[in-house]
């Protein structure tokens, strides 16, 4: 259990560090958000654990259920060429779950790692709390 916590903390720190020192990314086959007021982006790599996959699936489902077409969701693979441009555009070069409205960016990656698998209901509430004020 302690090893898992240390790993979790290390991933969280690395994610935060790379978010602020960002640079590139890639697309995963999802459609680019159209004219939504708020966009949610999930950037990942080819190597993905169960939690990484849960973050994407839970976030996508929650965004669709809570906000419909008002908020878009797109996933980008940082190891694919198509996502690299999007990552550069948003200043992202590592795994991140990002809520974007205009120039405002809210990083909810830590919350995803904490709750997407263990407490999806809490994760959904966090997504709602972060996005609602932006609409």
Measure the CA–CA gap between 129 and 51, rounded to whole angstroms. Answer: 21
Find the CATH number of the domain harbouring 51. Answer: 3.40.30.10
Is residue 60 pLDDT above 50, yes or no?
A: yes
Q: Identify the pLDDT of residue 84.
A: 84
* Gyration radius (Cα) of the chain, Å: 14
Q: Identify the pLDDT of residue 23.
A: 38
Residue listed under structure tokens 């990314």: 25
Measure the CA–CA gap between 116 and 13, rounded to whole angstroms. Answer: 18
Strands 104-107 and 38-44 come out as unpaired
Element (H, E) at 117: none
Alpha helix ranges (H) inside the chain: 2-20, 50-67, 81-90, 109-115, 120-131
- The 8-class DSSP code of residue 70 comes to G
Q: What is the pLDDT of residues 24-51, one digit of tens each?
A: 333 344 544 456 799 999 999 999 999 9
Residue listed under structure tokens 């839970």: 58
Domain that holds residue 87: 2-134
Q: What is the pLDDT of residues 78-99, one digit of tens each?
A: 999 988 889 999 999 899 999 9
- Count of domains in the chain? 1
HEC sequence for 21-53: CCCCCCCCCCCCCCCCCEEEEEEECCCCCHHHH
Edge-first strand order for the sheet with 38-44 is 71-77, 38-44, 96-101, 104-107
């Amino acid at each position: 259990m302690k090893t898992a916590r240390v790993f979790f903390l290390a991933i969280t720190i690395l994610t935060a560090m790379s978010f602020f020192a960002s640079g590139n990314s890639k697309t995963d086959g999802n459609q680019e958000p159209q004219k939504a007021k708020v966009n949610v982006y999930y950037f990942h790599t080819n190597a993905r654990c169960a939690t990484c996959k849960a973050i994407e699936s839970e976030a996508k489902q929650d965004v669709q259920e809570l906000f419909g077409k008002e908020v878009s969701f797109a996933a980008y693979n940082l190891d694919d060429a198509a996502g690299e441009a999007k990552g550069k555009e948003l200043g992202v070069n590592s795994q991140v779950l990002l809520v974007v409205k205009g120039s405002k960016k809210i990083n909810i990656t830590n919350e995803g790692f904490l709750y997407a698998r263990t407490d999806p209901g809490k994760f959904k509430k966090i997504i709602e709390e972060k996005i609602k004020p932006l609409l």
